[in-house]
Amino acid sequence: MDVSLLLNVEGVKKTILHGGTGELPSFITGSRVTFHFRTMKCDDERTVIDDSKQVGQPMSIIIGNMFKLEVWETLLTSMRLGEVAEFWCDTIHTGVYPMLSRSLRQVAEGKDPTSWHVHTCGLANMFAYHTLGYEDLDELQKEPQPLVFLIELLQDFYSIGHLLPFLQDLELRPLPWSL
């Protein structure tokens, strides 16, 4: 295992479990990234909180679209395609994870993650009802802690790495209206 610290990101440690292929993609705003993730506590049992493989569907986010858990964009853009890595993230990065997890679980259950809102933000609703609806997430919300994210980067769409061969090919072909 290769252990490295993500530079310029305080409170994050990366361990590469399986190296990916190719160069590090140059993600641009609007790149859609698809990945599997497993979220674990840092306890002796490494208690699993969420696992996209158990749900049976990978996660996708769009880079630069202000995802709820901002650190995930940083983690994903540090990975090669096919790479599997573990990221230890301190509480400064994981405080909103219980609310994100609640939304992900509701989507997986076929529910509307916004159905519990009473025309206020999610945080205000959580305080109004004093629960997220899942005991383990309520506990995590009350006592924030570092978490480990195991991430497998499956694919990216619209990254500059995928566009370059296409753009270079366009430059080599004469345009039909050019002389």
DSSP letter for each residue of 83-123: -EEEEEE-HHHHTTHHHHHHHHHHHHTT--TTTT--SS-HH
Q: Is the confidence at residue 148, as pLDDT, over 70?
A: yes
- Confidence bin at 78 (pLDDT 50/70/90): very high
Its sign, for the CA torsion 101, 59, 69, 85, is positive
pTM: 0.77
% of the chain with per-residue pLDDT over 70: 72
Q: Which two tokens stand for residue 141?
A: 């919300």
- Confidence bin at 110 (pLDDT 50/70/90): confident
- Confidence bin at 146 (pLDDT 50/70/90): very high
- Specify the CATH number for 2-95+144-171; select among 3.40.980.10, 3.20.20.70, 3.10.50.40, 3.30.200.20: 3.10.50.40
Q: Per-residue pLDDT tens for 115-132?
A: 655 555 555 555 555 788
In the prediction, which pLDDT does 125 show? 52
C-alpha distances (whole Å) from 155 to each of 83, 92, 138, 163 are: 10, 28, 33, 14
| 38-45: average pLDDT | 96
| 74-92: average pLDDT | 94
In the prediction, which pLDDT does 16 show? 93
| 44-54: average pLDDT | 95
Q: Is the confidence at residue 45, as pLDDT, over 70?
A: yes
Amino acid present at 46: R
Partners of residue 14 on adjacent β-strands: 4, 87
Q: What is the mean pLDDT of the chain?
A: 81
In the prediction, which pLDDT does 170 show? 56
What are the residue boundaries of the structural domains of the chain, listed by start? Answer: 2-95+144-171
Q: Is the confidence at residue 179, as pLDDT, over 50?
A: no
Q: Is the confidence at residue 113, as pLDDT, over 80?
A: no
